[in-house]
Structure 1
């Protein structure tokens, strides 16, 4: 209930900040909304790594990314006017997806390289946050001075400031609301995550299955609520930016977990199942990028081909993990 109520209000504040700061919905969705809704996942992954459960830690991070990508398909179902990827076309969201694929490649490179670590931390764990910040800078620059833009159609919802009467809230009040909502949604999400872990542990399933399904979905509930709320409020670019940008931030979970894991490089604790999840996530993101480029107006069930394929890939991936 807390996530549902606060998530809607958090989306409104983020939308207003996007206009007030001039950062735009895509960057705000990735930097603020995506970061705040990722708080429960960070706590779960870091705690699992610190207590000697690297498989659970990594599976939670990776499983959250795949679940949140599937949530974007659900948001597409909620938006009935056109395909969400058509209406929310922007260079920033395309850049976010490209950044995500690039960041996902780094853990695979680390796992395939010699088990080097400095103070128990793999060099890739230092590279990941730097690459993420540089990526956000490039995305912000691309939005400020785009070299190309999507064709505008009647169904396209551009990222434009809201009318002045809705912008009378001060900067200070917006930041205060953001901080309060972040604390509330982070605490509520953590409680849901711990409940999911407790239930999952009693089922006797593997840590990969537990992390990839139970804790991943429970810690990703804020993303589902905020993305659907953003769609209903007409902030379509914010909705896509929250999911895709939040996914890029979630890759950093592995770097944080590597610091907390004291038995060497956490990347070399990757199992074949987790490598499968990384490859699946890259494939799902690639399909999403194709959808953002193709910009199909209407498709099966009034959603685009990319949303249909993403849901099939996600459900198929879960089936493979549980076989």
Structure 2
């Protein structure tokens, strides 16, 4: 988990315009993903002013400011410009109040602008900051995008995870991370996985070593991150181990607060794991769209039993 994000990173990723403080961006730190819309503060109420947040002013705030006297507005803006305040953002291509620019210059706080509406820029900044500042967990496994399904392949070391990922890449799917997957929770139902910077686009194959997937297979063979929709756990086959044969198991794994569906696949000589995982991903996608092959089988079986019962009467 990153402790902070610079205002320079925010400007680059959200594509904000710098109205004041170009030379200040790299030194200003953002430590929370919450965004403040300072409405009550414009009236002089500062009892609970969240100074550590990015301050976003839209049509409502700037319209209210126009009705204030210059002295009163300057006093309020100076109170809003605290040492820990990262930056001010003006939405909808509005002109920032002169009093804000004066107070920001006195306190050396950047003032940013954007053509986006207040709701849009608020959503974009929140999503970006939540992704960067969220708590992270490092998991051992391989993350692959298969037909738009983020599949986390887990299993003991040496079971064949990386080799399977290589075969999946050759079949047109995209690698996100090999060996270590950095995972964070985006919201109540979504996990996002990405590769550590040092391992991005790289795959380790025993006997060959490290290969650069993007260099060998092209930019279309990799992704920087993806949601984790399904966990496929590879286990060495054993006659004593029972595996789900009908697909009606409800195995899951909890990561942070998110419950992720999980499938255990036996690894045995002669099995094409890449094709099996590809089929598992397509089946998962079909089930999420309302088609359940296991239910179809059960319905067909019940229909056959009823038909045989009638014929035997």
- The structure with higher relative contact order (CA 8 Å, sep 6+) is 1
Which has the higher Rg, Structure 1 or Structure 2?
Answer: 2
Give TM-score scaled by structure 2 length: 0.23
Structure number with higher helix proportion = 1
